[in-house]
Amino acid sequence: MRWANDKKLKPKKLSRRAFIMLGMQVGLMGLLGFRMRQLGVEQTKQFRLLAEENRINLQLVPPARGLIYDRLGNIVANNTPLYRIQIVREQAINSTQVLRKLSDIIPISEDEMAQVLDNMAKRRPWVPVTITENLDWAQVAAVAANAPSLPGISPIVGAYRNYPKAEEFCHIVGYVGPVSDYDLSKIEDDDPLLHIPRFQIGKNGIETRAEHALRGKAGIKRIEVNAVGRVMREIDNKASEPGKNLQLTVDTELQSAALERISDESAAVVLMDVQSGDILALASAPAFDPNKFVTGISVSDWKDLNENEYRPLANKTVSGTYPPGSTFKMVVALAALEAGVIDANEQVRCTGSVKLFGSKFHCWRRGGHGQVSLVRSLRESCDVYFYEIAQRVGIEKISEMARKLGLGIRHDLPLPAIRKGLTPTKEWKRTVKGADWVIGDTLNAGIGQGFTLASPLQLAIMAARIATGTAIDPRLINTVGEDLMPVKGNTPLDINPEHLALVRRGMFEVVNGARGTARGSKITTKGMEMAGKTGTSQVRRITKKERASGVIRNKDLPWNRRDHALFVAFAPYDNPKYAVAVIVEHGGGGSKAAAPIARDVMLAALEKDDTGYGKLPSQKRRTGDPDEQTPQTPLKPRDRA
């Protein structure tokens, strides 16, 4: 009976199970249909894009680096074709045999050949590997002529930086080099160009300070690749945007003249247009060849540069700071005049030294100068006069005047390692030296010794500001692309014009007076007369014993123990156009070592007297190919009004 009932219930259970299974199947099919519709209709664009990205690769096209010109339109940094030879393993078939054939045409050593084979083994068969580069055109032509017997070998043309005015502009323009891991760690820049192998960036000078303007922007090349990554065809090529060209304020002729004049010394020369602030020459000696850094400097060359006691890699014009010596006396004189503690006619008696709290401060002239006025003290560089007026005016006002004239300030130029120098104060000594300021410190500062430090650039600016009575600032770049860089700071100084005129008169007497310390370097051409100031800064302490027995002459001392020689000047005296500053490291007296250099450089500028700008030659602007160029509008001459 129970069995009969179960038999009657069985069809009902089967139909219920079938219904459940059918429902599940319908639900699953519906879910699959919905998902297929979502993938095929609603998300079709997204997945098509993913498929395209798997098939299409993007490659960066490096831009051409901007060119650099001098004041007259002469090129000082350009891009020169770089010829290299590459090999593709799958095309070469027998790579070793092909490389040996190639070595019969161009020089390839066994070590270089082994390195190439090792590089090829680490890469996929179709990836090109560089065999050699920096070839000349004759070598490339020989390889191209033998192409049928060199399967897989292809000459490639790229570009590298070249400096035709190598030594003249090495400290100004600097040089480029490949991006290193150290560079990437220091640069806050997400530009993908920096990750391209062997991509070069500025490493020194304007090349590094104007990197963003010079670099340009990358182009993009879209290429089709197959499943294993082999390039099938180029689909699109968006040209790169070349870097901007720069025009400097520097005149190559004057720069060369200045560098030639100091080529045998460890020295620096700065020549400046006093009206615009344009730097016409910025020469530091010894110089070096920046082209050696572009493709990698040799160990021996690097060692020679680093071990040279004349420090050829240092740009002494902006990074060298020295006690300014007697060139600082104009600062002290103006500070005293402005403070009202002296006047033009007051005289101080110089007996050859002054005593202060048991210490003796000497004048360079052992027997003294007698009664000395301001103009005469500048003309004959009397130290005792400036000991006296420095005590009267005090270090705070002296340092304030120094900063007003451009000392103790880090000037805004696109160069690395610009030093601020030092115009000390009482607070500075307490903070840095942990000691109080004493009157002896003021006396030392009165003759540009002690803690006071200045660079040749700052001394040239000081001379320019005294000459014009304006707070002119230096300028090294005239244009970036087609944008003109402004003249800055040509506003009147807050200094009594009569006081400036008195100091200028003293500087005139230094060069043109019968007893002037630089009378041997005067410019005799009428209308070109130069006004200046000599300076000699000690690098060693002269003991009482040495003074008693006779101070050792510079020529009898080791080179690095001799005094520094300095000279600052402006000309023409009646209508100032140029200012110059010269430092000859361990050169001895400023009148003998530095003043003649300044005179020659100043004469070169006065006789040339070309204050305008030359037009840049039209050039082809770069596109995707590093060697392809297109025209650029030439610059207009700068309006001097």
Query: Predicted confidence band at 70 (pLDDT cuts at 50, 70, 90)?
Result: very high
Residue 567 and residue 573: Cα distance in Å, rounded? Answer: 16
Q: Residue 633: CB partners within 8 Å, gap ≥ 6? A: 482, 618
Residue 538 and residue 448: Cα distance in Å, rounded? Answer: 10
User: Bigger pLDDT: 79 or 54?
Assistant: 79
Given a cut of 50, whether residue 621 has pLDDT beyond it is: no
* 120, amino acid identity: M
Q: Left (φ > 0), alpha (ψ -120 to 50) or beta: where does 391 sit?
A: alpha
CA angle 319, 215, 201 (to 5 degrees): 55
pLDDT at 594: 96
Record the tokens describing residue 617, joined without a space: 């030659």
pLDDT at 568: 98
Record the tokens describing residue 584, joined without a space: 């000859």
Given a cut of 90, whether residue 617 has pLDDT beyond it is: no
Query: Predicted confidence band at 614 (pLDDT cuts at 50, 70, 90)?
Result: confident
Q: For residue 423, which of 327, 411, 404 has the smallest C-alpha distance?
A: 404
Instruction: Give the containing element (helix H, strand E) for 444.
Output: helix 439-446
Q: Residue 612: CB partners within 8 Å, gap ≥ 6? A: 637, 638, 640
Rounded mean pLDDT, 136-144: 87
Given a cut of 70, whether residue 548 has pLDDT beyond it is: no
pTM of the model: 0.81
Query: Predicted confidence band at 88 (pLDDT cuts at 50, 70, 90)?
Result: confident
Given a cut of 70, whether residue 83 has pLDDT beyond it is: yes
Residue 551 and residue 564: Cα distance in Å, rounded? Answer: 16
Rounded mean pLDDT, 170-194: 84
pLDDT at 543: 59
- Cis bond upstream, residue 572 (ω within 30): yes
Record the tokens describing residue 398, joined without a space: 């002296």
Q: Where in the chain is the domain with CATH 3.40.710.10?
A: 252-608
pLDDT at 227: 52
Rounded mean pLDDT, 335-351: 95
Largest CA distance in the chain: 152
Residue 445 and residue 401: Cα distance in Å, rounded? Answer: 13
Mutual angle of helices 439-446 and 395-404, in 10-degree steps: 30
Rounded mean pLDDT, 456-473: 97
Q: What is the pLDDT of residues 118-138, one digit of tens each?
A: 888 877 776 678 888 778 888
pLDDT at 309: 93
Domain 60-248, CATH class in plain words: alpha beta
Q: What is the pLDDT of residues 569-583, one digit of tens each?
A: 999 999 999 999 999
Q: Cβ-count burial of 205 within 10 angstroms (0-12 exposed, 13-18 middle, 19+ buried)? A: buried
Rounded mean pLDDT, 369-390: 95
pLDDT at 623: 34
Which runs of E-coded beta strand occur in 473-557?
477-480, 483-484, 531-537
Query: Predicted confidence band at 622 (pLDDT cuts at 50, 70, 90)?
Result: very low
Domain 252-608, CATH class in plain words: alpha beta
pLDDT at 626: 36
Q: Are 457 and 415 in contact (CB under 8 A)?
A: no
Q: What is the pLDDT of residues 395-448, one digit of tens each?
A: 999 999 999 999 999 999 999 999 999 999 999 999 999 999 999 999 999 999
Given a cut of 50, whether residue 624 has pLDDT beyond it is: no
Question: What are the backbone dihedrals phi and psi of residue 578, each rounded to the nearest 5 degrees, phi first?
Answer: -130, 150
Rounded mean pLDDT, 97-102: 90
At 625 the three-state DSSP class reads coil
338 CA to centre of own chain: 37
47 CA to centre of own chain: 50
Q: For residue 272, which of 254, 247, 246, 253 has the smallest C-alpha distance?
A: 254
Q: Where in the chain is the domain with CATH 3.90.1310.10?
A: 60-248
Rounded mean pLDDT, 173-191: 82
Rounded mean pLDDT, 62-87: 90
Given a cut of 80, whether residue 280 has pLDDT beyond it is: yes
Residue 578 and residue 258: Cα distance in Å, rounded? Answer: 14
- Cβ count within 10 A of residue 387: 25
- Residue listed under structure tokens 């007996």: 351
- Percentage of the residues of the chain whose pLDDT score is greater than 90: 56
User: Bigger pLDDT: 32 or 372?
Assistant: 372
pLDDT at 225: 59
Record the tokens describing residue 268, joined without a space: 């620096």
Query: Predicted confidence band at 233 (pLDDT cuts at 50, 70, 90)?
Result: low
pLDDT at 633: 31
pLDDT at 306: 93
Rounded mean pLDDT, 446-469: 97
